[in-house]
Amino acid sequence: MAKVHLWSSLRRFADGQEVVEVEAATVGQALDALVKAHPGLEPAVKAGVSVAVDGEVIANNRAAAVAPDSEVYLLQRLKGG
């Protein structure tokens, strides 16, 4: 299963876990599985997060591939100008 790493302020919504394992073949499936397992994460995911899969930043591509052994990092999306 893919390992999703949460930044510190999200961990409280995942029972304090830094890493949550999910079954997913795409970024979108990983985010959906994460929210299904930990509904408290939904507002952050809906507000928008940046995602890095195996060291590569994925920009707004829910169809990007996630392998069973992937390391997925959720990052706060920066806003501003």
The residue extents of the domains of the chain are 2-76
Single-letter amino acid, residue 4: V
Spatial distance between the Cα atoms of 19 and 35, rounded to a whole number of angstroms: 14
**Percent above pLDDT 90 for the chain:** 81
Residues 6+ apart with CB under 8 A from 36: none
Question: Mean pLDDT across the stretch 54-80?
Answer: 88
Domain 2-76 class? alpha beta
Mean pLDDT confidence for 54-63: 88
Q: What is the mean pLDDT of residues 46-65?
A: 91
* pLDDT score, position 81: 58
**pLDDT per residue over 16-54, tens digit each?**
999 999 999 999 999 999 999 999 999 999 998 999 999
When the pLDDT of each residue in the chain is averaged and rounded to a whole number, the result is: 93
